[in-house]
């Protein structure tokens, strides 16, 4: 597809088509030739903030009976890497990405993290090109089908799922759980478990079952990672 065809699919026509090209330019291009090439990371940074603000406001307005906890979980469900990559595939962004040869040959057009970043960069580009209202209109059109699925906000704690989504922003590799020990009589066992990512231990947890120990380890890992981010 040409950029004109892509804009038709987006239902948005750029006044400055250069912003769209910039949103599609992967950072790998800047490293390939040893020269400075503008790429989409700054737009990604901007688009992430725009997306968070607009979806947060919509959740706040649409679900007045819910407090911060479930609203935060609902927003995370809407904007995690996997979900954003699905939006990118639906829009056909992968075919338009401007990649280095190395990124192209390693499957960059289908990589979830690359596609998710491109969506955020696209939102930043629309915001700069058409302003807040244009970005809001595009985001609500893209995400409004998901709001119907959130008529009941997620309230069940799922630390393993949350940890996996958090780590997906860093690496496609999934966390691994291993039982370290099981102590006590059969009717009152206590399991100790460790969660690792890319060979690095993140945390340990314990519980009355393997599943409970894994959840506890994930909960401890989440707390540590979030504390590190806030520093």
Catalytic positions, written as ranges = 48, 120
Contact 11, 23 (CB under 8 A): no
At residue 93, φ and ψ (nearest 5 deg) are: -65, -35
H helices then E strands: how many in the chain? Answer: 11, 3
Contact 83, 169 (CB under 8 A): no
Contact 99, 76 (CB under 8 A): no
Distance CA 50, CA 139 (A): 9
Contact 153, 137 (CB under 8 A): no
DSSP string covering 200-226, please? EEEEEEEESSHHHHHHHHHHHHHHHHH
Q: Which residues of 41-61 are buried (b: 16+ CB within 10 A; e: fewer)?
A: bebbebbbebbeebbbebbee
Q: Comparing C-alpha atoms, which of 164, 165, 196 is closest to residue 180? A: 196
Q: Please report which helix (H) or strand (E) contains residue 121, including its range.
A: helix 112-130
């Amino acid at each position: 597809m040409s950029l004109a065809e892509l804009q038709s699919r987006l239902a948005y026509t750029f006044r400055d088509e250069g912003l769209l090209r910039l949103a599609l330019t992967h950072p790998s291009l800047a490293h390939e030739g040893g020269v400075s090439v503008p790429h989409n990371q700054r737009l990604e940074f901007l688009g992430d903030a725009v997306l968070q603000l607009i979806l947060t406001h919509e959740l706040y307005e649409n679900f007045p009976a819910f407090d911060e906890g479930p609203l935060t979980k609902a927003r995370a469900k809407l904007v995690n890497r996997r979900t954003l990559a699905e939006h990118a595939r639906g829009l056909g962004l992968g075919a338009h990405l401007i990649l280095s040869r190395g990124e192209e040959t390693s499957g960059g057009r289908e990589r979830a993290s690359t596609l998710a970043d491109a969506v955020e960069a696209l939102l930043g580009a629309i915001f700069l090109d058409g302003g807040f209202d244009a970005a809001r209109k595009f985001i609500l059109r893209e995400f409004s089908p998901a709001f119907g699925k959130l008529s009941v906000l997620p309230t069940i704690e799922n630390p393993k799922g949350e940890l996996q989504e958090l780590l997906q922003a860093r690496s496609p590799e999934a966390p691994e759980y291993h039982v370290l020990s099981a102590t006590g009589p059969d009717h009152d066992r206590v399991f100790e478990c460790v969660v690792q990512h890319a060979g690095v231990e993140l945390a340990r947890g314990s519980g009355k079952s393997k599943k409970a120990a894994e959840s506890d380890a994930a909960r401890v890992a989440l707390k540590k990672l979030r504390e590190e981010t806030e520093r």
